[in-house]
Amino acid sequence: MVDKKCRSDEVSAEMSSVLTKRMLASVLRSPALAVVAAYGLRMVLLWLAHYNEDPVNPRFETIGLENDLVAMSLARSKGFFGPYPGYEAVTAVLAPVYPWMSAIGYKLFHLDYFGGMLFCQTMNSAFSAGTCWPIHAIGKKVFGERVGLASAWLWVFLPYAVLFPLEWTWDQSLAALMLALIVCATLNLRESTSALHWSGYGLLWGFTALVNPTVCILLPFMLAWLMIRRRQAARPSAGLVMRTVFMFLLVLLPWTIRNYYAVDGLVFVKSNFGLELWLGNNPAVKENYSRDLHPLVSYAERLRLIMSGEPNYNREKEREAIAFIKAHPRTFLQNSFDRFVDNWAGTYDSQVDPWIHTLHLSSADVWFCSVFSVISLAGMILALRANLLDSSPLAMCLLLFPIPYYFTHTELRYRHPIDPFMTLFTVYAIVRLCSALRGRVSLVKRGGAIREQNSQAAGAVGGATDPLARSPLQR
């Protein structure tokens, strides 16, 4: 009886150990751990950035004054109002979702600037950490579980995914999360015939447009990709696509009506395209754009904005930018090329980013950004060669999303919404490289083994036939 009891205890202990190991392995393979680790890392760095910090002269300056001013105006119940100091008017220079979210923090902290800023940074960290989920889902669906999980963990430590949520009280972290969710939903809709799913897809696009309208450049291409994939599987798509477009427009309708009456013009989400185009295309442009002429910085331009009104000011700047482009096409092409390089190498950001300067990482930033871009673009090419159709939505994001910024002006935070897909392609390229190296090593070992076997076989045959190789007894 004692022996049976001992054996039973040993078996139960062994089963418990096996179950524990399986549970641990399951947790390690889950993207949930990556999400927790990403959020924890960002919050620790946020605490370190503000530890013993002088609020008046901070060492790590947080940027995003336009958003903060509008959020404080919303918290005061004054409306979507006053994005620049001294500009006391309703506005549409910002997309509405992120300022409204920021206003919650300023309301909770009773309009305390530092408290509201901390709320925005904490919120950004949550958005950045949550992006691990769709990264893992996309990678698992397109490239396999190993690439998906490794990409989620690379996002945990990716410098830009860590830096931007803390440095900017802006929408780039939320935009990266929303675009990753859109691509994930696009891949899942290939087989769905549910009208509810397609309606939700349109709502998702509409909400994302109110976060960052530049994302909308991808909408027709994503819908075209869905129609092609569904046609290959003989599934209906025209009616479902129309439903998506209708829901997308329905989400944008209230904000469009508001802009029509509030800022006196038909505006697609934001009214500042003319200004941004002019900042990148005028006689004062050096390298990327003339940031000193922005109304936030330039008192003269802010005064022109106040006197002209937002719609007239932006239309005037758009006319000036187009006139400059027509008069100086070669300069425009050169500036656009410089912005293309900056988008993928971070040459301009490394000079003007205050956190990069504080950390003395200007040269390292250019090197890292360039290497990250080259590897990700190589991974994109490999992925398109291996599986053109399934990799196309990710490649569209890299190739199409930055185009408006080449014509206006670039910053790495503008590129950040496509960083999740660059992360996926980077991991895929590294996995393919490692597989190729392992295959070459195993091929070399196999070739050496075959040569050794042939040598031994030749020696054996030679020993049996060559009379000089026989022993004296045999002779």
Residue range 378-420, pLDDT digits in tens:
999 999 999 999 999 999 999 999 999 999 999 999 999 999 9
| Domain presence at residue 211 | yes
> Could you tell me if 174 and 266 lie in one domain?
yes
Among 270, 289, 318, residue at a domain's last position: 270
> Could you tell me if 230 and 197 lie in one domain?
yes
> Could you tell me if 262 and 278 lie in one domain?
no
Contact 236, 191 (CB under 8 A): no
Cβ neighbour number for residue 242 with a 10 Å cutoff: 13
Q: 322 is in which domain, residue-wise?
A: 271-326
Q: Which residue has the tokens 């937002």?
A: 310
| Domain presence at residue 332 | no
> Could you tell me if 264 and 175 lie in one domain?
yes
> Could you tell me if 251 and 295 lie in one domain?
no
| Domain presence at residue 82 | no
> Could you tell me if 303 and 223 lie in one domain?
no
Maximal CA-CA distance, the chain: 117
* Beta carbons within 8 Å of 471's beta carbon, 6+ residues apart: none
> Could you tell me if 207 and 292 lie in one domain?
no
Q: Give residue 393's identity as a one-letter amino acid code.
A: P
> Could you tell me if 298 and 232 lie in one domain?
no
> Could you tell me if 306 and 322 lie in one domain?
yes
DSSP state of 96: S
Number of separate domains in the chain: 2
| Domain presence at residue 234 | yes
3-class secondary-structure state, position 430: helix
| Domain presence at residue 40 | no
pLDDT number for residue 28:
59
> Could you tell me if 225 and 309 lie in one domain?
no
Positions in the chain short of pLDDT 70: 1-28, 55-56, 439-475
| Domain presence at residue 137 | no
Question: CA separation (Å) from 115 to 140, 289, 392?
Answer: 39, 32, 42
Q: Distance between CA atoms of 298 and 291, rounded to whole angstroms?
A: 9
Contact 142, 390 (CB under 8 A): yes
> Could you tell me if 202 and 293 lie in one domain?
no
pLDDT number for residue 465:
42
Among 226, 251, 270, residue at a domain's last position: 270
> Could you tell me if 254 and 300 lie in one domain?
no
| Domain presence at residue 105 | no
Is residue 81 classed exposed, middle or buried when 0-12, 13-18 and 19+ CB atoms within 10 A define those classes? Answer: middle
pLDDT number for residue 475:
32
* Beta carbons within 8 Å of 72's beta carbon, 6+ residues apart: 103, 106, 111, 113, 116
pLDDT number for residue 203:
97
pLDDT number for residue 266:
82
Contact 178, 215 (CB under 8 A): yes
Nearest to 383 by CA among 214, 138, 190, 137: 138
| Domain presence at residue 236 | yes
